[in-house]
A = this chain, B = another copy of it.
């Protein structure tokens, strides 16, 4: 609310910010039609449909004053060019994941997921109440973007492997699709990682260009048919204990919006975030059952030595990141300080409950 208070006090907008009064009269009948480019196939379960749901919310909440046309990956721009397209104004909005932009903005990775880091609830607490959003805003403003959390996959699985992993040795030399800091951590234990658009994973596993691949979780993995090209599903959660889906708005387009439509986007994003978290919890559960019962998928977890090595390697990957990039240092400082505060209550609350529910046989 600080900007609004400033506007009330000063009667003037900050540089580059259109100063719309709270009840806008001048622009009340102006309509906006925006394009949103995404990193997902059109209507892809939960990710693509989540982008559609966000657009529907914006249209409803604005009472038809704002319309967002959602485009699948490749329709206007390729899956992994969303950041550049929105920054340049090719489209006013994007829906993607921030860790895809690590090559341009190293610190962006901390706004999606940190290996062995915060859970979905902890992450949202940081973004909404712990200063995370403000840091994200500040860093993305340098790239002419305004970011929002517009969905979250919840916990992600470790992924699909063509052969069984019985020791750290078995990981050596594997070619794995895995983005972000977790990819770095895998590199550190001898795995060769690459990022690619989700739609390329199936063929890459099939042709042997990949030995293993992380995509999302049961619901999205089933949708791409990954169980048809790899026998073992490693469910170990380590790489993405949460995964924020990122909405980006071109900053010039954002600044030109009346304030009430900025509110519409902000709150539609927040509502879409919870809607997607809830949807994934349900659809992943259904899909996991389908994978096991109907497709005979073998569930596996990494051996303890692999998990321990991944933890050490994750810490080193984060450390290297933080030492080599000032923005990353600032973001991780905020992230880790918040994690230290928030986690004791997760342990005494959610984690203790899950243990109790298990112990009593509920």
Contacts and interface: CB of A to CB of B under 8 A. Distances in A.
Interface of A: 22-24, 28, 57, 60-61, 63-64, 116-117, 119-122, 124-130, 154-155, 157, 217-218, 235-238, 241, 260, 263-264, 267-268, 270-271, 273-275, 277-279, 281-286, 288-289, 299, 301, 304, 307-308, 311, 338, 341-354, 356-362
A109 to B, nearest CB: 17
A282 B341 contact: yes
Contacts of A270: 270-271, 274-275
Contact of A128 (B236, B279, B285): B279
Contacts of A236: 352, 356
Main SS at interface, chain A: helix
Contacts of A23: 63-64
A342 B289 contact: no
Contacts of A61: 61, 260, 263-264, 267
Contacts of A361: 311
Given A23-B64, A274-B124, A350 B119 contact: yes
10 cross-chain pairs, A with B, having the tightest CB-CB distances, nearest first: A155-B349, A285-B345, A237-B353, A23-B64, A63-B260, A311-B360, A274-B274, A270-B271, A60-B263, A125-B281
B129 A288 contact: no
Given A23-B63, A61-B61, A264-B61, A281 B154 contact: no
Contacts of A128: 274-275, 278-279
Q: How many copies does the complex hold?
A: 2
Contact of A121 (B129, B237, B278): B278
B121 A120 contact: yes
A106 B111 CA distance: 43
Contacts of A307: 356, 359-360
A284 to B, nearest CB: 5
Contacts of A338: 282
Given A342-B282, A344-B285, A351-B358, A271 B267 contact: yes
A292 to B, nearest CB: 9
Contacts of A155: 349-350, 352-353
Given A128-B278, A288-B345, A28 B63 contact: yes
Contacts of A282: 125-126, 129-130, 338, 341-342
Given A218-B345, A311-B360, A277 B121 contact: yes
A301 B271 CA distance: 35
A268 to B, nearest CB: 7
A259 to B, nearest CB: 8
Contacts of A127: 278
Nearest to A117: B362
